[in-house]
Amino acid sequence: VNDPFMDLHYMVYQLKYDSVHMRYKGTIAAKVDGDKEYLIVDGKQIMVFHAKDPASIPWKEAGADYICESTGVFTEKEKAELHIKGGAKKVIISAPPKDAVPIYVMGVNHKEYKTTDTVVSNASCTTNCLAPLAKVIHEKFGIVEGLMTTVHAMTATQLTVDGPSRGGKDWRGGRCASQNIIPSSTGAAKAVGKV
């Protein structure tokens, strides 16, 4: 696990007591051995790192071959490949990529996966909801053009009270998430077209 912004003991606390998923019923502990840190979940020891640069994370030492890149920052092949410099073999981006990284959605185009791909994208949660349904409709009836509307639960990037949005440009995004329906854009439609 790599989280440059969370202390190991805070990580244990966050996993143990979650406001949404409730208290974890198993065991979670922290272990520090010299300069190495471990998160211990139900007896399984997991190395923890706090690096901002993926190339500096010793994934090979941790025994991590496949890395789920879910920061939202490294969504281009060149940036995601930094994990490979750290010793990983493959990287899966959990968002639509900003470049020509192949996108795969189970049940839609997963059989097109090439073992030579070192960086792939699993698109987004919205794409994974829409693409399988769109595939069935397209194969049965054909889709020439489409329009989608997504209703999404609150996310960690939204505000709990009114205030300036990130960057100050999205005025709607500055509204309290629990009190408003906030229109926003999504890259899911483009990603569905790609898969």
Handedness of CA 185, 108, 74, 162 (dihedral sign): positive
What are the residue ranges spanned by the domains of the chain?
Answer: 1-50, 54-122, 145-194
159 phi/psi in degrees, rounded to 5 = -85, 145
Report d(CA 171, CA 151) in Å as an integer.
19
DSSP for 69-119 reads E-SSS--SHHHHTHHHHTT-SEEEESS--SSS--B--TTTTGGG--TT-SE
User: What is the architecture of the domain spanning 54-122?
Assistant: 3-Layer(aba) Sandwich (3.40)
Please calculate the CA angle 50-56-62 and round it to the nearest 5 degrees.
75
Along the 195 residues of the chain, how does pLDDT read in single tens digits? 999 999 999 999 999 999 989 999 999 999 999 999 999 999 999 999 999 999 999 999 999 999 999 998 999 999 999 999 999 999 999 999 999 999 999 999 999 999 999 999 999 888 999 999 999 999 999 999 888 888 888 888 889 999 998 888 889 999 999 999 988 877 777 778 788
CA distance 55 to 33: 23
What type of residue sits at position 106? M
- Name the active-site residue from 68, 125, 129, 176: 125
Our answer to whether residue 125 is catalytic in this structure is: yes
